[in-house]
Structure 1
């Protein structure tokens, strides 16, 4: 929670395709200053999430600068020992056993530790913010800064913990850091928040480069918001359009010719395609031109695609470009149709589109066509909505009152065995009593309303046997609504609390109270020994370190 001396809120959006930062002072909250990246061919509030390391694995550059330098190295054929990473954020979704030593591959397949890559990228954004302040003669002590790091809503606890640790390694103190879900942050942007009235239900559709996140809110009577449905989404962002374009090139030019291209040539082709996508969404355009390298053009004499090439340009009609959008667009529409079947979402007033991919007129048209009974709104600057909202939350972290639990949470325990109800294979005799082990003692079920930073449920547990000097309380989560045993396939152990009871006072009548509460995005579990008053907290290590 933000301390009273935090006079500056700084948000970092470390995206799949683009990244940036924004900040404002507490005395002038509405004056949000966003990052600016300028060069010969660009002026942008965000820079590509591309990061370049030297052959010795030392950080060299980030964003447009990294891509330009790598292109120069590649043209001079001196690039192959360097490490170039692009679209690497998706590893936090795809990696099933994420840890602090997980390695990721650069564009040539060379490996580095993911934590080193992510922390270097976050440190770059942090340092750029500091340079911005210094250039305006603003000297700011770190203790006065509240940092807000945004993450996709569909990420699991391991990915969120990974990003927190990466931010710590980048020099952001844990006590000054909030990890905020991207659509939740966007929901608190001033333009969105002001347009909604008390009681309005609205859906934030956050379409980024990598992920699409859905979060559904209701504005409350206190001028705050409740999250009324658990976060959902998938990997259907704008990069899927780029993937479809690369598949198009392979289909029409052949896989061998495509693989013959140098990495810098692929980067240049994708930059050209980015411009073509924007032109294709202009209703007055009939065709678009995309630059092609000689390595593709020199092998097309016998291919049908030759008729679409004029000098160094591939010429496609607008319908061909629109076709490349269909897979991710259809996925997004289908997912929204499924979510909106839920009865608690009846009366939804708005679908509000944010994120860089939401700038696409093709996507906007599909959403409006398929959900014509709901007002579909696109914020003025979709790509910076998350950043601006996150800055606001940094000033007022209590603005979100409740959310829906993404899992069913509980504690492993033992109960008196009931014939015909409990599994006989789990029966144990302890101190003359027949007990059933592996019981999932449920605290919160999936999609249940949980109040932020308030105790959700408290339950009491007792020692299992006489003379017990410590109690191990294992915390589990499940995607099932009502798991009976912690050994069921959809259950996962996420942490332990060890309660020490060296004097054994009270024996089996001794009470240990366990409470579960939720922070901004993270779970907190605490056990209290009612005999001594001593409190214990769970040690969650989602990264398996």
Structure 2
């Protein structure tokens, strides 16, 4: 049976896995024999593109040609990378597709066969735009994307399978390179996982810790030499690289020594774990607030949580582990490598979708995992309040089980109004300006002319497992209707997909 793989497409590192002939999840090594690949792309000459370690190593020498942390830009509908040395800009989907194309090539080399099907993971707090963009990136790379699955859910699948699927409630604390998610799930047996609630922050993680340490280095340098080392792009990248190394080293040691050079000047400094902890404490505190919030949303107490699972490389930081243990009163589970557990879970889920037999301890066949997920954000439409101000009227509340549906009754705000435009937004704020526009459902026409506030317009909003948003609006007296499947305005069109796919497939990726 053809292999299907699971991919953890990370902000800083990516990993891939598959279910082997023994029915067990196994990490797929990249072409360099490593279990994880830096999510970094370098554009070279003659349509040559490097992905991974060599691209990351080129960031100091060729900062304009190297793209990092693109996952954090997936939510920006208008984002383009700064021009590279050839003057070319790139969309987030294109960069993600190049990373995925490299992973696909490495998987095919390791497994000895063509790989066309995959499940790709995303942060639980990703919205509709980021999820659909990730799916498009997979298609551009040459994959049939079987599903997009949340990273904490994938981790719980890996853990649930490892624990022979016994019933338990798991809290997954997922602190990665650029995102934070915390999710409460119930493993209900028979391979089924029910997500109870999720919280998160799309701009919090290891890369932001690196930035804080980098800025600390710069402050020390400015204080000593009265020169700003970060004005030079190469020096900035060098300081960031040293900040990342310092962060990792201080997870093992309590003090290290750093050599900084810029503009012909040198500074040697001693850096302690306590200093770094002071720099990142506010971010760690924010993860604690979100963790407490998700437990409240799930209507649970800490005594109801059976296991706490740490996911993501940033959970190796001692301050993180200390906080989680103190907050939950439980020793966090560290039985699976936090860099690999998401890809392992995605592979298990992908195998179930692909009809591949999964086996537990002793080789006994076990049920394929089934996931009952919830919405990470509320979905609503833009309506008018009594003051005739635009508001986000939520029809599907955050943490509603998917598929979800909600409805409301609305009216006109002008005399003799015969049509109404319906726009869908995603978010928690009442002001639509602080929400994300999902799409425009179009215009309901043929409303009988009446005094304002008289017509009754029923609006039903649906959100299915694939992420498709559907809207049905009906004026109740006349029966005129509007039915729409919503496609996000920021996604690539069919023609744009063909052009970007041709471009990516025409590049030589190494």
TM-score (norm 2): 0.74
Residues 1:88 and 2:34 aligned together: no
- The 1-side partners of 2:212 and 2:181 are apart by 21
- Secondary structure at the residue paired with 2:81? strand
Residues 1:348 and 2:305 aligned together: yes
C-alpha displacement of 1:246: 1.0
Determine the structure 2 residue equivalent to 1:479: 428
Determine the structure 1 residue equivalent to 2:465: 519
- Secondary structure at the residue paired with 2:197? strand
Structure-to-structure mapping, 1:296-311, within 5 angstroms = 298-299=264-265, 309=268
Q: Larger radius of gyration, structure 1 or 2?
A: 1
The question of whether the paired residues in 1 share the 8 Å contact of 2:169 and 2:187 is answered with yes
C-alpha displacement of 1:357: 0.8
Determine the structure 2 residue equivalent to 1:465: none
- Secondary structure at the residue paired with 1:103? coil
Structure-to-structure mapping, 1:96-495, within 5 angstroms = 98-99=77-78, 102-105=79-82, 112-115=89-92, 116-133=94-111, 136=112, 138-139=113-114, 142=116, 145=117, 147-173=118-144, 176-190=145-159, 194=163, 197-198=166-167, 200-254=168-222, 256-259=227-230, 263=234, 267=237, 270-282=240-252, 285=253, 287-293=255-261, 295=262, 298-299=264-265, 309=268, 314-342=269-297, 344-346=299-301, 347-368=304-325, 370-396=326-352, 399-404=370-375, 406-409=377-380, 423=386, 443-447=395-399, 449-450=400-401, 452=402, 454=403, 456=405, 475-477=424-426, 479=428, 494-495=438-439
C-alpha displacement of 1:125: 1.8
Determine the structure 2 residue equivalent to 1:64: 53
- Structure 2 unmatched runs, 5+: 354-368, 412-417, 447-456, 475-480, 493-510
Change (3 A) 1:360 1:440: closer
Determine the structure 1 residue equivalent to 2:451: none
The question of whether the paired residues in 2 share the 8 Å contact of 1:215 and 1:230 is answered with yes
User: Could you report, residue by residue, the CA deviation over 1:178-197 in whole angstroms, capped at 9, with x for unpaired residues?
Assistant: 22221121121146762774
- The 2-side partners of 1:515 and 1:380 are apart by 40
Root mean square deviation of aligned Cα: 4.5
- The 1-side partners of 2:285 and 2:394 are apart by 37
Change (3 A) 1:489 1:64: closer
- Secondary structure at the residue paired with 1:383? coil
- The 2-side partners of 1:126 and 1:383 are apart by 19
- The 1-side partners of 2:422 and 2:286 are apart by 41
Determine the structure 2 residue equivalent to 1:543: 490
Determine the structure 2 residue equivalent to 1:9: 4
- The 1-side partners of 2:202 and 2:327 are apart by 19
Residues 1:51 and 2:41 aligned together: yes
User: Could you report, residue by residue, the CA deviation over 1:285-325 in whole angstroms, capped at 9, with x for unpaired residues?
Assistant: 453233434x36x535xxxx6xxx3xxxx443443344344
- The 1-side partners of 2:95 and 2:134 are apart by 11
- The 2-side partners of 1:70 and 1:91 are apart by 18
User: Could you report, residue by residue, the CA deviation over 1:105-157 in whole angstroms, capped at 9, with x for unpaired residues?
Assistant: 27999761224323222222222222223xx4x355x3xx3x11111222222
The question of whether the paired residues in 1 share the 8 Å contact of 2:25 and 2:348 is answered with no
C-alpha displacement of 1:160: 1.8
User: Could you report, residue by residue, the CA deviation over 1:257-289 in whole angstroms, capped at 9, with x for unpaired residues?
Assistant: 5237662x655555555444344333xx45323
C-alpha displacement of 1:163: 1.9
C-alpha displacement of 1:247: 1.2
The question of whether the paired residues in 2 share the 8 Å contact of 1:471 and 1:500 is answered with yes
- The 1-side partners of 2:57 and 2:437 are apart by 45
- The 1-side partners of 2:91 and 2:296 are apart by 39
The question of whether the paired residues in 2 share the 8 Å contact of 1:359 and 1:383 is answered with no
C-alpha displacement of 1:542: 4.3
- The 2-side partners of 1:69 and 1:474 are apart by 44
- The 2-side partners of 1:395 and 1:131 are apart by 19
C-alpha displacement of 1:439: 10
- The 2-side partners of 1:491 and 1:278 are apart by 36
